[in-house]
A and B are shown apart, each in its own frame.
Chain A
Amino acid sequence: MNAGLMFFIQLVISGIALGCLYALIAVGFVLILKATDILNFAQGEVIMLSAFICYFLVTTFHLPFLLAILLTGIIAGLMGFVTERLVLRPMLGEPVFAVVMVTIGLSIFLRSMAGILFGHNNLVFPSPIPKEAVRMGGIVLSQTEIWLMLSTFVLITVFFIFFKYSRMGLAMRGTADDQDVALLMGISVKQVFALIWAVSFITAAVSGVFLANIMVINLGLTFVAISAFPAIILGGLESIPGAIIGGLAIGIIENLAGGYLDQIIGGGVKDVTPFVVLFLVLMIRPYGLFGKKEIERV
């Protein structure tokens, strides 16, 4: 195989790994969006906070890695409950703009509080995953990337089964479909909302822990969540399979742009590509690949 093709395949494969991360973050967004029609701009802060919490659990409290992940998940879930109860419940029935702004306010607040509490230094997570890369027929992948792909796959399967077969999952889908009808059918919409926020925050925590393994931990981690916006838009705001495919696509596009365009334009192309894609998708197909075109009535 020639070197050019090899380079291309390498970029695509590591793009898929990055895309898995985006998909995971995007699923966190879409869960809330689907059930409650709220885009939670504070999702990135939850990811960053989880990374910090996991770091301190492992280093300061010397907990084993798996226990630390579990605890981080529980803390994130509790944060989800509290956020829903204190910040979003009073906003029920308010216009979209107000709700969006509340989550932006929350994100700014959480980020600066994290800065005050944890400082602005870069922390390096003592990753339990070995650093040696794995070679498969000339393609190099780090073990973290492999774990990332596996866990994304497992989590998404769990979500799929949960939404398809469990009673609560059905209740959530019902609520997402039509809140009034769900209420009439005896579903506790409040309970569903609280739970969906918790589940979404737990998803965010998982992606946060993986991010901590890949990058240094600092306040900038929130930016990665914003880079997942294009994934949600591409997938069409309210579709979980869409979010996954969108995430993978954005991961691959970003990596290819980084690999080829960086040499021409100069560094940093990788970071803006998702936003350029976002802009283009919004221009051409605003409701994404899998979204429904909304029909409005006065």
Chain B
Amino acid sequence: MAIRSKTFRESYYEDIKLFKTIWIKSWIGLLLVVLAVLPLIGDPYIIYLINISCIATVAALGLNILTGFTGQISLGHAAFFAIGAYCTAIISSRFQLPFWICLPASGVVAACAGLLVGIPCLRLKGLYLAMATMSFGVVVEYVVITWDSVTKGVRGIGVPTLNLLGYPLDSNNKLYYFMIVLTALAIIAATNLMRTRVGRAFIAIRDRDIAAEVMGVSLTQYKVMAFAISSFYAGIAGGLYAYVMEYIHPEHFTFLLSVQYLAMIIVGGLGSILGSIFGAVFITVIPEFIKGLAQFLTLLFPAIEDKYDDGWNIAAFGLLIMLFLIFEPKGLSGIWTRIKTCFKNWPYTY
């Protein structure tokens, strides 16, 4: 990545600082202001979309820590998400416990499930790991449907409203600030994690696991840690999902959801925090975009009316995954970096 001219760094610490220049700080400040006033002027549906994007961001961050940074393929991320969602739903509806117990509990239970998968999967990598995590996903889906006495099976569970210190967050606009704050926390935590020894160990494992081991990185410890952290994120995201949707059903957590999360981190950019955010928002918004396009085309060609259904969105995910992998493996964050570099160096190419 090109460094802005007249930027001189004197220590390694400056190289890994969170906010490198005053510009980054001011842009982020501006973004926060926009996010803060948005619910006052924005359409409720847009607020709902942002809430859903926040959930997706948290889950995609988790998956990116595991797959993008540590290089462990997971095709069963929906399972951890489901575990988190059901944990929150069951605890909060049966025992009427507040959210500050439910959400962390979801995270911890999902992290335990992550350990359960991570420890036996230590010896596996590549295709084998992909298949093992996928079969874990299938088994969890089966358990959720069949274990009727706990999960209420195919009838689904209703989730009580999130109650923030006696103040019920019963609409999307009220949930909005809660989601933004939690998502910001998740992003900061992930960024910080990647600046530490742990983050560097993850990246070393991804790049060459045997070499990393020779350098003194304990594969066992860090791979299991990556699984646990990643599923903790997924669990939290699942809990938030339960609160936002107010009703969860086994059909929400299929293999397709796992693929959707993978699509997010591929489209956004593997091994990039910013990429996870871009990808999550992009994949969440794209169905709306396709819907809009379908409506527009219907105006032009009335013959195709009612031809639009969910299938087109899913086809678009598939197509996007293929196109990005073939033409732009660095994803949206790669494009973003290129545009930034282009502006910085203008009028020169480099």
- A101 is an interface residue with CB less than 8 A from chain B: yes
Contact A279 B136 (CB under 8 A): yes
- A257 is an interface residue with CB less than 8 A from chain B: no
Contact A104 B262 (CB under 8 A): yes
Contact B139 A112 (CB under 8 A): no
- The CA of A110 and the CA of B319, in the complex, are separated in Å by 9
- A158 is an interface residue with CB less than 8 A from chain B: no
Mark the stretch among A16-24, A192-200, A207-215, A268-276 that contacts chain B.
Answer: A268-276
- A169 is an interface residue with CB less than 8 A from chain B: no
- The CA of A74 and the CA of B123, in the complex, are separated in Å by 41
- B285 is an interface residue with CB less than 8 A from chain A: no
Contact A286 B123 (CB under 8 A): yes
- B91 is an interface residue with CB less than 8 A from chain A: no
User: Of the candidates A111, A113, A115, A272, which one forms a contact with B142 in the assembled complex, judged by CB atoms under 8 Å apart?
Assistant: A272
Contact B329 A96 (CB under 8 A): no
User: Of the candidates B120, B263, B266, which one forms a contact with A283 in the assembled complex, judged by CB atoms under 8 Å apart?
Assistant: B120
Residues of B within 8 A of A110 (CB): 318
Interface size class of B (residues with CB under 8 A): 35 or more
Contact B124 A286 (CB under 8 A): yes
Contact B311 A115 (CB under 8 A): yes
- The CA of A251 and the CA of B316, in the complex, are separated in Å by 35
Residues of B within 8 A of A11 (CB): none
User: Of the candidates A100, A108, A115, A268, which one forms a contact with B146 in the assembled complex, judged by CB atoms under 8 Å apart?
Assistant: A268
Chain A, 102-116, CB within 8 A of any chain B CB:
102, 104-113, 115-116
- B322 is an interface residue with CB less than 8 A from chain A: yes
- B180 is an interface residue with CB less than 8 A from chain A: no
- The CA of A177 and the CA of B309, in the complex, are separated in Å by 46
Contact A298 B208 (CB under 8 A): yes
Contact A96 B138 (CB under 8 A): no
- The CA of A298 and the CA of B211, in the complex, are separated in Å by 6
Mark the stretch among B42-50, B127-135, B196-204 that contacts chain A.
Answer: B127-135
| Contact bitstring A252-276, B, C-beta under 8 A = 1, else 0 | 0000000000000110100110011
Closest Cβ neighbor of A279 among chain B residues: B135
| Contact bitstring A228-247, B, C-beta under 8 A = 1, else 0 | 01100100010000000000
| Contact bitstring A286-298, B, C-beta under 8 A = 1, else 0 | 1000000000111
Contact A298 B315 (CB under 8 A): no
Indicate whether A233 sits within 8 Å of B128 (C-beta atoms), given known contacts A91-B325, A116-B311, A272-B138.
yes
Interface size class of A (residues with CB under 8 A): 35 or more
Residues of B within 8 A of A96 (CB): 126-127
Chain B nearest CB from A231 CB (Å) reads: 11
Closest Cβ neighbor of B137 among chain A residues: A275
Chain A interface mostly helix, strand, loop or mixed? Answer: helix
Residue among B135, B138, B139, B312 with max Cβ neighbours from chain A (10 Å): B135
Chain A, 79-126, CB within 8 A of any chain B CB:
87, 90-91, 94, 96-98, 100-102, 104-113, 115-116
Chain A nearest CB from B77 CB (Å) reads: 13
Residues of B within 8 A of A271 (CB): 142
- The CA of A258 and the CA of B285, in the complex, are separated in Å by 42
Indicate whether A104 sits within 8 Å of B312 (C-beta atoms), given known contacts A286-B124, A298-B214.
no
Residues of B within 8 A of A140 (CB): none
- A155 is an interface residue with CB less than 8 A from chain B: no
Contact B132 A282 (CB under 8 A): yes
- A171 is an interface residue with CB less than 8 A from chain B: no
- B60 is an interface residue with CB less than 8 A from chain A: no
Contact B132 A101 (CB under 8 A): no
Closest Cβ neighbor of A89 among chain B residues: B326
- The CA of A126 and the CA of B210, in the complex, are separated in Å by 56
Closest Cβ neighbor of B255 among chain A residues: A226
- The CA of A266 and the CA of B153, in the complex, are separated in Å by 13
- B86 is an interface residue with CB less than 8 A from chain A: no
Residues of A within 8 A of B145 (CB): 268
User: Of the candidates A90, A107, A276, which one forms a contact with B318 in the assembled complex, judged by CB atoms under 8 Å apart?
Assistant: A107
Contact B322 A282 (CB under 8 A): no
Contact B321 A104 (CB under 8 A): yes
A-B contact pairs, 25 of them (CB 8 A): A94-B329, A96-B127, A97-B126, A98-B325, A100-B126, A101-B325, A105-B318, A106-B318, A108-B256, A108-B315, A111-B314, A112-B311, A112-B314, A226-B134, A233-B128, A275-B138, A279-B120, A279-B132, A279-B139, A282-B120, A286-B123, A286-B124, A296-B210, A297-B210, A298-B211
Q: List the 7 closest A-B pairs by CB distance, nearest first.
A: A109-B318, A105-B321, A108-B318, A275-B135, A112-B314, A112-B315, A105-B322
Beyond A90-B326, A278-B131, list 12 extra A-B contacts (CB 8 Å).
A94-B329, A96-B127, A100-B126, A104-B321, A106-B322, A109-B318, A109-B319, A115-B314, A229-B134, A282-B120, A282-B124, A286-B124
Q: Which residues of B contact A (CB under 8 A)?
A: 67, 71, 73, 75, 120-121, 123-124, 126-128, 130-132, 134-136, 138-139, 142, 145-146, 208, 210-211, 214, 256, 259, 262-263, 266, 309, 311-315, 317-322, 325-326, 329
